[in-house]
Copies of this chain bind each other. A is one copy, B any other.
Amino acid sequence: MAERRRTGYSIQRKILDEGAVDEMAEKSDSKPSLCEKVKKSMSCSGPRLKNCLLGSVPVISWLPRYSIRDNALGDLISGISVGIMQLPQGMAYALLASVPPVFGLYSSFYPVLIYFIFGTSKHISVGTYAVMSVMIGGVTDRLAPDSNFIIWDNVTNSSIVDAVSRDAERVRVAAAVTFMSGLFQILLGLVQFGFVVTYLSEPLVRGYTTGAAIHVIVSQLKYTFGISPVKYSGPLSLIYTVLEICYLIPQTNIGTLVVSIVAIIGLILAKELNAYLSKKLPVPIPVELLAVIVATVVSWQFNLEGEYGVDVVGIIPSGLQPPVLPAASLFGQVIGDAFALSVVGYGIAISLGRIFALKYGYKVDSNQELIALGLSNSIGGIFQCFAISCSMSRTMVQESTGGKTQVAGALSAIVILFITLWIGTLFEALPKAVLAAIIYVNLHGMMKQFMDISALWRSNKVDMLVWIATFILTLLLNPDMGLAAAIGFSMLTVIFRTQLPTYSLLGQVPDTDVYRPLEDYNQVRQVPGILIFRSSATLYFANAEMYQDALGEKSGIDITKILSAKKKLEAKRKRHEEKNAKKAKKAAKKSAEGEPERAEQKDIAIIEMNAEPDPSLPRAIVLDLSPVNFLDTVGIKTLRSIQRDYGEIGIEVVLAGCQTGVVDNLQTGGFFSDKVTKSCLFSSIHDAVLYCQSGFYLTYGLYFNANTLTD
């Protein structure tokens, strides 16, 4: 390594200001006009059209080249494994969405098939997802609450909830919001807005999913304890629900609780066993399927519903249902939720998709993904599915069991179709508590995300703040509003970061052209007579005033005071001159009479002296603008007023290290004038310093000469 450094840094050239660089490097002005750009992007040709078609329906391009020898076996095993997982997860997540379990099966079928045709990720398992389901649940509970479906039961002579019409309404609501979220996704995809996902930074997504997981858990507690709390919606509903559940805990159904505990312990043990045996087994044990089968058999054998009052899944209609157009009348009420669903669903799917794309070296097209998910959701909505995304746990299984292409997903859909058509009805005796247990155990991974906090504390405190704020906002405002608030917050952190910049005076590292902050280094020396000032952030409206204040503070120059003192002095001088003019007249009169007039001359001399520059002030200020990304009108005004104010008290202000874009901003913003030209911009601090120093010698020279002459 040390050997590599032998080549030294050696430069001998003129001092270069911006104008000189432009001249030397021949700046080119020609930029393609807007019209040409539009023309270029609109042009249409044969190959272009073909590419467009292949891009929109990726299955056409990859399925014909599908290598059966390489992929078929892996895809088959993986497809069956995932299909088996989709069954219990679909039913469990349907509970989260507050719709009957069979709709979870539909949601694991239609959207998966559509994604197979339009999707570009080969490894993600599209389908029901806990966070999305709980968001749907929020909407269905809000628009079709139990209280809307209370009827008088003539048998028991009490008011009961009409569960059938309530569930029908909830399915309508879920389908409507799903359909709309799909439309949003298609729209965003068509206008190439795939980049919106960049607002979902990693700390935000992890904080958000953790917060949503808490919502999921709380919404399932009622099934675990067998109680029926009142549903709350709106901000803080999580807290109200928890309080309500605590209040109802004494009414716990013991049978349900026992089923829950057994199911949870069984699932955890089986998962541990799975992890332990993972290397020895070709395919993981379908733990959840086993749990569902065992629980169904036990429940049916011991008649848990009749004997112990354990809540079970109930009627599962076999067969598929005909498509129904979503209820347009509901669209207005669910527009916000639909948008949140579309962003969350896309955000989760694309981030998982990218992980695997990176691992296996292919590309997912973010805009095509949006369209694929949008079609899955909107067509799914017509078939009464609820909104889907992709699930981490299923995707892991799909990949680890050897799935290599989207064919695995399609096969899993066929498994689900088979179950729905013929054996779904067998699960009618399955206790809901077991489904809740499956959900808890699946959330295990999300709970681990709490460890992020300590990791982020060490690496980046602002990102930790984003994590925690997102988590808390999601808890308090529910997943829909919480997401919007969290995105707003994470953007504010960007603003705040540029609002609290570090301002520093720079000094020279001896014998080099390297300049570093004076306070950070011991061997850095200030250049005599020159202040070099830098803000760590872009200069724009939100920090322009602070920039000026910080410059005054760091330099110790109270510019307003000096300027007002100067003005007063000038006013005094003027008055004095007027007085003198009068006196001169008198004196002219008197001189005719032969009187001396030395005193007045002395006075004038004193005032002249005062007008000379204060030697304690620097002779020049270099503003290092290299961290500036852009300049707005306020920023340019600030620079101009600094240059004018300090210029008035004889301090030259020059700028260093402007990017090309910033120079353009200065130009269009009217920074330059007859007096201020590009010759006050320098490509490096050292150029600016050398320029200022060369100026001194001249000025100081003249100044000292003048002094020695007058002395």
Structural contact, B361 and A9, CB atoms closer than 8 A: no
The interface residues of chain B lying within 8 Å CB-to-CB of A634 are 201-202
Structural contact, A7 and B15, CB atoms closer than 8 A: yes
Structural contact, B13 and A511, CB atoms closer than 8 A: yes
- Cα–Cα distance between A53 and B669 once the two chains are bound (Å): 43
A152 CB within 8 Å of chain B = no
A35 CB within 8 Å of chain B = no
Return the contact of A698 from the options B4, B563, B633, B690 (Cβ within 8 A): B4
- A538 closest partner in B (C-beta): B629
Structural contact, B456 and A698, CB atoms closer than 8 A: no
Q: Which of A361, A510, A522 has the most CB of B within 10 A?
A: A361
| Given A9-B686, A460-B668, A669-B460; A542-B494 close (CB under 8 Å) | yes
**Which one of A178-186, A318-326, A368-376, A656-664 is at the interface?**
A656-664
Structural contact, B13 and A12, CB atoms closer than 8 A: no
- Cα–Cα distance between A634 and B462 once the two chains are bound (Å): 12
The interface residues of chain B lying within 8 Å CB-to-CB of A659 are 534, 536, 627
A516 CB within 8 Å of chain B = yes
The interface residues of chain B lying within 8 Å CB-to-CB of A564 are 360-362
A647 CB within 8 Å of chain B = no
Structural contact, B459 and A670, CB atoms closer than 8 A: yes
The interface residues of chain B lying within 8 Å CB-to-CB of A363 are 560
Structural contact, B514 and A684, CB atoms closer than 8 A: yes
Structural contact, A198 and B9, CB atoms closer than 8 A: no
A211 CB within 8 Å of chain B = no
- Cα–Cα distance between A405 and B659 once the two chains are bound (Å): 45
Q: For the complex formed, measure the closest distance between the CB of A265 and the CB atoms of chain B, giving whole angstroms.
A: 37
Return the contact of A5 from the options B11, B463, B691 (Cβ within 8 A): B691
- Cα–Cα distance between A627 and B524 once the two chains are bound (Å): 23
Structural contact, A668 and B509, CB atoms closer than 8 A: no
- Cα–Cα distance between A520 and B199 once the two chains are bound (Å): 31
Q: For the complex formed, measure the closest distance between the CB of A517 and the CB atoms of chain B, giving whole angstroms.
A: 6
**Which one of A20-28, A113-121, A420-428, A575-583 is at the interface?**
A20-28
Return the contact of A198 from the options B494, B512, B542, B684 (Cβ within 8 A): B542
- Cα–Cα distance between A637 and B358 once the two chains are bound (Å): 14
Total interface residues in chain A, CB < 8 Å: 111
- Cα–Cα distance between A509 and B14 once the two chains are bound (Å): 13
Structural contact, B626 and A629, CB atoms closer than 8 A: no
Structural contact, B632 and A463, CB atoms closer than 8 A: yes
Structural contact, A561 and B361, CB atoms closer than 8 A: yes
**Which one of A44-52, A61-69, A543-551 is at the interface?**
A543-551
Q: For the complex formed, measure the closest distance between the CB of A99 and the CB atoms of chain B, giving whole angstroms.
A: 34
- Cα–Cα distance between A501 and B630 once the two chains are bound (Å): 9
The interface residues of chain B lying within 8 Å CB-to-CB of A534 are 659
| Given A561-B361, A691-B4; A522-B25 close (CB under 8 Å) | yes
A195 CB within 8 Å of chain B = yes
- Cα–Cα distance between A56 and B190 once the two chains are bound (Å): 58
- Cα–Cα distance between A289 and B502 once the two chains are bound (Å): 53
A665 CB within 8 Å of chain B = yes
The B-contacting residues of A in range 590-635, CB under 8 angstroms, are 626-630, 632-634
A458 CB within 8 Å of chain B = yes
The interface residues of chain B lying within 8 Å CB-to-CB of A11 are 9-12, 512-513, 686
The B-contacting residues of A in range 518-549, CB under 8 angstroms, are 519-524, 534, 536-538, 540-546
Q: For the complex formed, measure the closest distance between the CB of A84 and the CB atoms of chain B, giving whole angstroms.
A: 31
- Cα–Cα distance between A174 and B516 once the two chains are bound (Å): 56
Structural contact, B1 and A9, CB atoms closer than 8 A: no
A687 CB within 8 Å of chain B = yes
Q: For the complex formed, measure the closest distance between the CB of A100 and the CB atoms of chain B, giving whole angstroms.
A: 39
| Given A563-B361, A627-B628, A632-B460; A544-B198 close (CB under 8 Å) | yes
Structural contact, B5 and A14, CB atoms closer than 8 A: yes
A203 CB within 8 Å of chain B = yes
A307 CB within 8 Å of chain B = no
Interface string of A483-524 (1 = CB under 8 A from B): 000000011101101110110100001111110110111111
Q: For the complex formed, measure the closest distance between the CB of A563 and the CB atoms of chain B, giving whole angstroms.
A: 5
The interface residues of chain B lying within 8 Å CB-to-CB of A203 are 633
Q: List 6 A-B contacts (CB under 8 A).
A: A8-B15, A11-B513, A198-B542, A460-B633, A497-B629, A520-B660
Known: A13-B511, A199-B541. 7 other contacts (CB 8 A): A8-B12, A27-B520, A198-B543, A362-B564, A462-B632, A536-B630, A627-B659
